[in-house]
Amino acid sequence: MTRSATGPAPAAPLPSPKERRRLREARALSEEQVAAAVGVTPATVRAWETGRTSPRGPRRTAYARLIGCDEHRPAPPPSVEATGSSTMSPTEPGTGTTPDTPTPGKPSFHTPTPKAPALGVPAQDVPAQDVPAQDVPAQDVPAQGGSAPRTTAPDAHDPAPQPRPALTAEEAYDALYGRTAPGLTRQMYLLTGRRKLAREAVEHAFRIAWQRWPEVARDRDPAGWVRAASYEYAMSPWHRLRRTHRRPDALPEDPARRALLDALLGLPPVYRRTLLLHDGVGLGLPETAAETEASTPATASRLLNARAAVAERLPGTVESTEPGGRPALHDRLGALAVAEEVPEPPPAPAVRAGSERIAELWTRAALCFGVLLIGTTAFTLYTAPTQYEQPLAPAERVGGVFPRGGPEKPTPQDLKLQKSLRGELTHGPERLVPRIP
């Protein structure tokens, strides 16, 4: 048996840890069942799904087949080249659709008005996947009479197919921003009840996405990556310390929309996010659990509690309009998002310029801090003593010695003697002559 000169082909990479858990939960498999099938402990499966470790060897193949991931499928071409250009459009690889594109059997979240999407991405606005066009091989058409198949030769007059130019990183980013930013802004408004915070959260998420664009472009769901970043920023408890975001905006004037938004804002933030993702955006239960970083049973419990709280305040809002149809809350949330005036997000070039400016400021601040630290260290080394100096012993109290007194007040006898001496002063040697009594 001979080995190929090029060696065995490297195994295709597994999906992200969140995607592994989502695929396992979509097949209704527990960690214990997967561990028993692969031959490892449940703790090892938990480590695979949290990203601490990854399976190797035969266990990798068995794990990929068990969760439904075709590991032997050739990996897609890289999205971002070394030159900075991107060959990947914001569409999801392998499907030709965007993550927010409604699929059969899943409720879509579109807008009734054709000008802008409400909370999702309409299918007609999704650009085709930008991959270089390749020459299509000739089709084998069987000849008449059951003879050998013949190959149809291309017509000489037909022009050769031209490969589509690959999108640059800026063009791919702008396409993703144009499709998802309006819907995300309306989602942030329903999540927080604050228009300025909604726009700020979306802008912040896209600034981070541009700084990490190679990672976002290679992600299986770029729109989901930006949506998760927007939700995390909008739900941060630190916003309540800011004066501009301390209180929500005024509720809508329409009684029905006012009651629905008031009931939605009255839910806990975790319940509100789960309800908006599942019944609003239209994600499935495993996808919602993966995005909220919770287990599927916990996510189902949150969803049921949130629906019960909304149904208690607004009866008839959660129930489906028809058996097996999507919940009525889906349409109600879409109508509420479209009816409210939400600030338009800034243009994509402005967001990219802001992201680059912030990154430049942070870089300069880091450089200044490094220079200051180096200067402080050099000054300390220059002024520090070069030899050891023994410290002085601390002072101790000495007993048995009277304190030294100062000059005392003269007595009357001392004053009389002093006066007599001053009055009998003589000059010359007469003072030395004894006086005869």
Q: Is residue 36 part of a domain?
A: yes
Specify which of 65-74, 109-118, 308-317 reaches the highest per-range mean pLDDT.
308-317
The pLDDT score that the predictor gives to residue 159 is: 56
The pLDDT score that the predictor gives to residue 50 is: 83
Lowest mean pLDDT among 82-96, 233-247, 267-281, 295-309: 82-96
Digit-coded pLDDT (tens) for 339-353: 888 888 889 899 999
Res 98 pLDDT > 70? no
13 class by beta-carbon count within 10 Å (0-12 exposed, 13-18 middle, 19+ buried) = exposed
Q: CA-CA distances (angstroms) from residue 216 to 182, 230, 318?
A: 19, 14, 35
334 & 354 share domain: no
232 & 369 share domain: no
Higher pLDDT: 418 or 211? It is 211
What is the CATH classification number for the domain harbouring 329? 1.20.140.160
46 & 185 share domain: no
281 & 359 share domain: no
**Domain boundary at 75, 100, 115, which?**
75
352 & 239 share domain: no
Q: Is residue 30 part of a domain?
A: yes
373 & 329 share domain: no
332 & 284 share domain: yes
Q: What are the residues whose beta carbons fall under 8 Å from the beta carbon of 79, sequence distance 6 or more?
A: 86, 87, 88, 214, 217, 218
The pLDDT score that the predictor gives to residue 404 is: 67
237 & 193 share domain: yes
316 & 334 share domain: yes
Res 328 pLDDT > 90? no
Q: Is residue 314 part of a domain?
A: yes
User: What is the pLDDT of the chain when averaged over all its residues?
Assistant: 74
pTM metric for this prediction: 0.54
253 & 280 share domain: yes
Q: How many structural domains are present in the chain?
A: 3
CB 123 within 8 A of CB 87: no
Q: Which of the four pLDDT bands, split at 50, 70 and 90, describes residue 396?
A: confident
Tell whether the torsion through CA atoms of 181, 184, 190 and 194 is positive or negative: negative
The whole-angstrom separation of Cα 313 and Cα 263 is 7
Domain range for residue 225? Answer: 169-339
The whole-angstrom separation of Cα 260 and Cα 193 is 12
The pLDDT score that the predictor gives to residue 104 is: 40
Q: Is residue 200 part of a domain?
A: yes
Q: Is residue 220 part of a domain?
A: yes
CB 324 within 8 A of CB 252: no
- Calculate mean pLDDT across residues 126-145: 38
For residue 162, give the amino acid letter: Q
Q: Which of 199, 143, 131 is nearest to 354 (CA)?
A: 199
Q: Which of the four pLDDT bands, split at 50, 70 and 90, describes residue 376?
A: very high
What is the CATH classification number for the domain harbouring 48? 1.10.260.40
The pLDDT score that the predictor gives to residue 148 is: 40
The whole-angstrom separation of Cα 181 and Cα 169 is 17
The pLDDT score that the predictor gives to residue 120 is: 58
- Calculate mean pLDDT across residues 202-221: 91
324 & 202 share domain: yes
Tell whether the torsion through CA atoms of 115, 120, 122 and 128 is positive or negative: positive
Res 300 pLDDT > 60? yes
The pLDDT score that the predictor gives to residue 428 is: 58
Q: Is residue 21 part of a domain?
A: yes
The whole-angstrom separation of Cα 266 and Cα 190 is 12
Q: Is residue 153 part of a domain?
A: no
Token pair 């239209």 in the structure block, residue = 282
What is the Cα Rg of the chain in Å?
Answer: 40
The pLDDT score that the predictor gives to residue 326 is: 60
Res 313 pLDDT > 80? yes
Farthest-apart Cα atoms in the chain, separation = 180
Digit-coded pLDDT (tens) for 35-85: 888 888 888 888 888 877 888 888 888 888 888 875 445 444 444 333 333
62 & 202 share domain: no
Q: What are the residues whose beta carbons fall under 8 Å from the beta carbon of 67, sequence distance 6 or more?
A: 20, 23, 24, 27, 29, 34
Res 403 pLDDT > 60? yes
Q: Which of the four pLDDT bands, split at 50, 70 and 90, describes residue 433?
A: low
**pLDDT > 90 fraction of the chain, expressed in percent and rounded:** 20
- The phi and psi torsions of 356 (rounded to 5 degrees) equal -65, -35
The whole-angstrom separation of Cα 214 and Cα 170 is 12
73: tokens are: 């499928």
**Domain boundary at 56, 75, 94, which?**
75
Q: Which of the four pLDDT bands, split at 50, 70 and 90, describes residue 333?
A: confident
Specify which of 255-259, 322-326, 402-406 reaches the highest per-range mean pLDDT.
255-259
Q: Which of 229, 218, 214 is nearest to 93 (CA)?
A: 218
The whole-angstrom separation of Cα 391 and Cα 421 is 55
The pLDDT score that the predictor gives to residue 372 is: 96
Q: Is residue 415 part of a domain?
A: no
The pLDDT score that the predictor gives to residue 434 is: 62
CB 328 within 8 A of CB 320: yes
**Domain boundary at 43, 75, 107, which?**
75
Q: Which of the four pLDDT bands, split at 50, 70 and 90, describes residue 29?
A: confident
Lowest mean pLDDT among 40-49, 124-133, 223-232: 124-133
Helix H, strand E, coil C: the string for the chain is: CCCCCCCCCCCCCCCCHHHHHHHHHHCCCCHHHHHHHHCCCHHHHHHHHHCCCCCCHHHHHHHHHHHCCCCCCCCCCCCECCCCEECCCCCCCCCCCCCCCCCCCCCCCCCCCCCCCCCCCCHHHCCCCCCCCCCCCCCEECCHHHCCCEECCCCCCCCCCCCCCCCEHHHHHHHHHHHHHHHHHHHHHHHHCCHHHHHHHHHHHHHHHHHCHHHHHHCCCHHHHHHHHHHHHHCCHHHHHCCCCCCCCCCCCCHHHHHHHHHHHCCCHHHHHHHHHHHHHCCCHHHHHHHCCCCHHHHHHHHHHHHHHHHHHCCCCCCECCCCCCEHHHHHHHHHHHHCCCCCCCCHHHHHHHHHHHHHHHHHHHHHHHHHHHHHHHHHHHHCCCCCCCCCCCCCCCCCCCCCCCCCCCCHHHHHHHHHHHHCCCCHHHHHCCCCC
